[in-house]
Structure 1
């Protein structure tokens, strides 16, 4: 049975709308893979309570993970609204049309936050994103298979985030596990 785009838009759960919104953000730029998809949606869910409640993130091998988000993404793919390619996940033309019908679900500040999270993460490496999430949300690291590896690289990764203008000097020092004076000395070297 085929559904019209209007029927799909009317029946889309809030989490599906959030995923469409994430994929549309940044000029419909790709979300580059499963780890970045999960972390971007996690940050959105930390800001927008209903998204966080619907996604129900738990600790996992790469930090916060949502089975509900993975299932919702799979459903959007099967409905022809999302395309998965080597470059990651993007909206299809039908996905854009459905997003246009449902985008008003989010308030202006929520839409802006989704856009900001996409811009924040879109040009970061997986390791940079994992460092940011692992240190900022340590309660999600207990199942992590990458925590030790990320912690070994935390100082150069934090410096990369700082040089890219993604975090303040204070946040970079925090991510590095250093006080600001020691961190400034590291950056000068």
Structure 2
């Protein structure tokens, strides 16, 4: 049996080619919403979202998540395109998640297969560790409880990722959950064999 491994665009093309419907987004599973640590809102389109909020598309990976900026033509943080470019496409007319900007000190990608964590690694641009996942740190407990609760809810897919952040003021929050077909491989996170299982 063939298993596509590649970019989000590659996996989307493969699903279309073989007649598989793309799974719906799973960004904020109901069983894990108490771990978000911030208010997450929904907007019907990009243009309605106030400036200064962190935004991401409801449709999986339709455009990169970023902080929405006020001036037209200004490249948005971490996005590489302008708000105007997003607004003028079909992607700008789709649902949008938003939340207040929060001060993070580290972000981690956690890979999960059949309710077992198979890899964890820091994936933001900063270097070094904050200790969240070292020697049974708070991150280990946070993720173990999240994976358990997601599994018990019956809504967890066979494989997925949790993006977890350490706050500069202390504590951990869930940034989002992503179905395995739409996650990249970060070097040092898990074995290639486990990534293929995802």
Scaled to the shorter chain, the TM-score interval is under 0.3
TM (normalized to structure 1)?
Answer: 0.27
Which structure is higher in helix share? Answer: 1
Which structure is higher in strand share? Answer: 2
TM (normalized to structure 2)?
Answer: 0.26
